[in-house]
Structure 1
Amino acid sequence: MVRAGLCIGCGACVAGGNGRMAYDRYGQLQPQNAARPETFEHLCPFSPFAADEDAIAGARFAAAPQRDRKVGRFEATYVGHVAEGDYRAQGSSGGMVTWMAAELLSRRLVDGVAHVAATDPSPDGGFFGYRISRSLEELNAGAKSRYHPIELSGVIDAIRVEPGRYAVVGIPCFIKAVHLLRATDPVLAERIVFTLGLFCGHMKSLRMVESFAWQMGVPLEAVTSLDYRLKDPDRPANWYRAHLNLRDGGTAAQDWWHLADGDWGAGFFQNPACNFCDDVTAETADIAFGDAWVEPYASDGNGTNVVIARSPVLNDIVRDGIMQGRLALQPVDAEFVAATQAAGLRHRREGLAYRLTWRRRGIRPVKRVAPDRRGHTLRRKLIYRMRAGIAFWSHRVFWLAHRTGQPRLYIAWARAALRLYQALTYSRGRLGRFIDGLGLAGRDG
């Protein structure tokens, strides 16, 4: 799986003492010294031999009254934010993830929540990791988005050791991995009672933090903590701003669009496995949360969530919150939710169909999307090729720049690659007219 570029670094395969996870030279987590590699095929969320999202969701949400090919099975879908307390102000978006986790603790439906929180910087450069929070104070300290490689094995082992009921928060492939673990381990099946999913664009490597530090003129060693999305109510929610806290008490910050690799869709530092993911909305999670990337919500700097409730129990909690005035949520349909994630779904569905036709070595992924090279315009094909190229080469050019102590080498390459990508993707000028003039014009973005 690692050699085939299908390891996302979730750590499911090394839980239970079967090896450990470590960063490779590109800042991606990968299993090391695994004693039972034959277990990978049933626990790895990208394994062609593991149950897919449809099978897992079909078993877990068999009675769900609604089903959509883009967002999966569900009880109800909503858009809005938390109205009570400071959940919305403290979160990257509308505050719904932390609110739901806190509600599970408050109602004593769980004894602990496994989620990602900031840690002291590790020698290898990690700033975040999974932990189990058992109080509202611990939980609230873990709010906000983390575009950072992390892994599950430590909290999975802790759940095995400590009896109780747990909720796990994670991106789609991590939630899928949790269900694959539950299917093979009765202890985990009994103790992990809820999963809270996060919509996902793709996983970044550790090197993105170092690249941001380079471009802000500070060494990585000087960084003590960071905020990938510094919230400002006076700015649109999609105007990301990275903020670094430094050892000398100072700070450094920059808007993503001023950074050489700050265009998310271009794919800088993307994990290779993300090229073969077809789940944007965490289809196997009991409830899933994303950003409302449509107007008027995208311009609201306070942040807005879209919510997909798949579990009847969690949907009842959401409905109670609305009736009590604690949640400012409005019902929407699946089409609205899909529209908020249009670019990600297009890349993970029609883009994946095209990528599955590319020649590759090793294990071939098996996805719910069929290989298709015909149903795409020339411009879309070039965009998908460009994204894959940026994802591949950003790791290698950065490694070379780091190894030679020449940050400008990577930054210059990244700026040139980004200019070409944006000209191809967004241009209506000469390049766009040339491609479209071939008679193969299509959608952009």
Structure 2
Amino acid sequence: MARSPTVERVLKGELCSGCGLCAGVSNGAIAMRSAEPGFARPQQTAPITEEAERVIADSCPGSRVAPWADGPNRNPYWGPARETLTGFAQDPAARHAGASGGALSVLAIHALESGVVTRVLHVEADPGEPTGNRMRWSRNRDEVLAGAGSRYAASSPLEFIDAALGEGERFAFIGKPCDVSALRQLARHDPRVDQLIPIKLSFYCGGLPSRAGAHRVIRAMGLEPDEVVAFRYRGNGWPGLTLAETRGGDMGEMRYADSWGAHLSKEVQFRCKICPDAVGAVADIACADAWYGEGGYPSFEEQDGRSLIQVRSEAGEALYRSAVAAGVLSAEPLGVDQIELMQPSQANRKRLVSSRTAACRVMFQPVPAMAGLDVGKAAKLAPMAMRLRNFLGTISRILKAKR
């Protein structure tokens, strides 16, 4: 097969999340490259096999999103959860370094130290491109913490997934919800996924901004992107300051509410705006910021970190309970009805997925298959005026893009 019709359709419809799955299963025929305004996108340079195309069509989160598991605690916004809690890492360094309470970091560290896995695959800042990311393997606490903190930039953690599985070591995976969705679907074609990746961790994702978003932040600090040698989006506190340093020693900083609210959120790719599972509902455990409320809306004032923790699978429950028993994670139950107070934008986005995808269909734009994700149930909870406004707004956006 000369070209992948799935990849071409996903790219044409702006449905690519940049996960790298297509590259990872293409035996070198597809590679991930940076595309303007700073997203990771596949580039096919050789023919792919029909089998590879079948796997891509069935696993790519721009083509199909993994359905949620059935369960008595399934919520149309937040997915299935065996347990919903708030908590934090007992290790002060992990709590401080993490984006919220350090729960994801300490769960990964505990998986290593308890022998569940021998290494962790996760993202860290790219030394050669400080606003960008690269993947790394970590085998101990210090290495995990070196990559802690949110990274609002493109990453392709599945670009070399076949090679990683071929090494035969058991590892934990930390990635975006769409990355874990791709892994879950790949597991139907490759049994090594569940054999060698017993722990799949994710987080609530606000959407992936382009590199241009980070450059907007840097310029708003009064610095030039080309001069920056270190850049931290968040962490080292909760939510943590956005920090930049130039080779000349100049420093810039910005509050999270400004860096995300005024700059990064404006540069989020289209696929994220129609995401039916931005809460990691097919991960073993998903974590998020357990924001405290202020006047009915989350407060982003600096304070001790607190994580929202949703335990979603049997494997996740075993890891969570082991971490609590070992004294490395502190947690207490949270009513599911309280999540929207902490994460109102996530609930709002899920309510509007149906309206936005309906607009795409009217304009003959492709959308991913979304069966089993409660998109219709969530839509019924949105006011009709809001649904109509988003339907028309998405049509307007598509028309502008075609000009």
SS at match of 1:190: helix
Q: 1:342 to 1:375 in 2, by over 3 A?
A: closer
Q: Post-superposition shift, 1:26? A: 1.7
Shift of the alpha carbon at 1:78?
Answer: 0.8
Closer, same or farther in 2 for the Cα pair 1:269/1:385, shift >3 Å? farther
SS at match of 1:273: helix
State the Cα deviation string for residues 8-40 of structure 1 (Å, max 9, x = none).
111001114231011112211111015337343
Deviation track 1:42-76 (CA, whole Å, cap 9, x = no partner) reads 121131xx46322xx35xxxxx6633332222221
1:217-296 matches, cutoff 5 A:
217-229=222-234, 231-232=236-237, 237=238, 241-257=241-257, 262-263=261-262, 267-295=265-293
AA in 2 matched with 1:53: P
Could you tell me how far 1:89 is from its partner in structure 2?
1.1
Write out aligned runs for 1:145-224 (5 A). 145-224=150-229
Aligned to 2:358: 357
- Contact 1:77–1:337 (CA<8 Å) still a contact in 2? no
Q: Deviations over 1:218-238 (max 9, x none)?
A: 221111121112545xxxx45
Give the direction of change, closer, same or farther, for the CA distance of 1:89–1:390 in structure 2 (3 Å limit).
Answer: farther
What amino acid sits opposite 1:10 in the alignment? C
Match of 1:53 in 2: 67
Give per-residue Cα distances to partners, 1:301-355, cap 9 Å, x unaligned. 122101011233432443344455433311123222344222212212x211211
Stretch deviating more after TM superposition (364-373 or 83-92): 364-373
Partner deviation per Cα, 1:382-407 (whole Å, 9 max, x = no partner): 467669978998x99xxxxxxxxxxx
Greater mean alpha carbon deviation, residues 298-307 or residues 94-103: 298-307
Pair 1:388–1:357, CA change in 2 (3 A)? closer
Larger displacement relative to structure 2 (201-210 or 212-221)? 212-221
Residue matched to 2:109 = 102
Rounded to whole Å, the distance in 1 between the matches of 2:292 and 2:258 is 23
Q: Which of residues 100, 107, 118 in structure 2 aligns to 1:111?
A: 118
Identity score, percent: 24
CA offset digits 1:115-143 (Å, max 9, x no partner): 00112124xx7621111212222111011
8 A contact 1:130–1:155 mirrored in 2:
no
Rounded to whole Å, the distance in 1 between the matches of 2:36 and 2:76 is 38
What is the letter of the counterpart of residue 366 of structure 1? A
For 1:363, the aligned partner's letter is P
CA shift digits 1:140-166 (9 cap, x unpaired) = 101100011110234514412311101
Contact 2:18–2:156 under 8 Å retained in 1: yes
Q: Summarize the Cα distance change of 1:341–1:389 in structure 2 as closer, same or farther, 3 Å threshold.
A: farther
C-alpha distance 392-267 of structure 1, shift in aligned 2 (>3 A): farther
Which deviates more, 384-393 or 135-144?
384-393
Q: Tell me the alpha carbon deviations over residues 64-110 of structure 1, each in whole angstroms, 9 at most, x when there is no partner.
A: 66333322222211112112341111112101011000000001110
Instruction: Give the secondary-structure state (helix, strand or coil) at the position aligned to 2:242.
Output: strand
The one-letter code sitting in structure 2 at the alignment partner of 1:263 is: A
Determine the structure 2 residue equivalent to 1:75: 82
Q: Is the 8 A contact 1:241 1:256 kept in 2?
A: yes
Q: Does 1:8 align with 2:11?
A: no
Supply the RMSD in Å over aligned alpha carbons. Answer: 3.1
Distance in 1, Cα, partners of 2:343 & 2:287: 11
Alignment CA distance shift 1:242-1:156 (3 Å): same
> What letter corresponds to residue 343 of structure 1 in structure 2?
S
DSSP 3-state at the match of 2:272 = helix
Does the 8 Å CA contact 1:357/1:373 hold for their aligned counterparts?
no
Structure 1 distance, partners of 2:399, 2:334, is: 38
Question: How many angstroms apart in 2 are the aligned matches of 1:186 and 1:216?
Answer: 48
TM-score normalised per structure 2: 0.83
Q: Which runs of 5+ in 1 are unaligned?
A: 59-63, 397-445
| Higher deviation after alignment, 377-386 or 22-31 | 377-386
State the match for 2:369 in structure 1: 366
Which range moved further: 304-313 or 317-326? 317-326
Asked whether 1:141 is paired with 2:149, we answer: no
Residue pair 2:65, 2:182 contacting (<8 A) in 1 also: no
What's the CA shift for 1:361? 3.0
> Structure 1: how far apart are the matches of 2:180 and 2:132?
21
Q: Do the aligned residues in 2 keep the contact of 1:271 with 1:391 (CA within 8 Å)?
A: no
How far, CA to CA, are the matches of 1:301 and 1:218 in structure 2?
Answer: 27
Which secondary structure does the structure 1 equivalent of 2:136 belong to?
Answer: strand
Q: Which has the larger radius of gyration?
A: 1
Q: Which moved more, 1:108-117 or 1:208-217?
A: 208-217
2:320 matched residue in structure 1: 318
CA contact (8 A) 2:22 2:42 kept: yes
Pick aligned residue for 2:342 from 336, 340, 343:
340
C-alpha distance in 2 between matches for 1:90 and 1:392: 43
TM superposition shift of 1:252: 1.2
Residue 88 of structure 1 aligns to a residue whose secondary structure is helix
Mapped to 1, the partners of 2:132 and 2:381 lie a distance apart of 43
Relative to structure 1, the CA distance from residue 210 to residue 187 in structure 2 (aligned partners, 3 Å threshold; closer, same or farther) is same
Q: Decide whether the 8 Å contact of 1:267 with 1:390 is kept in 2.
A: no
Q: Does 1:28 align with 2:29?
A: no
* 2:4 aligned residue: none
Give the total of aligned pairs.
Answer: 376
Contact 2:66 2:185 in 1 (8 A): no
* C-alpha distance in 2 between matches for 1:305 and 1:387: 33
Q: What is the rounded CA distance, in whole Å, between the counterparts of 1:226 and 1:157 in structure 2?
A: 31
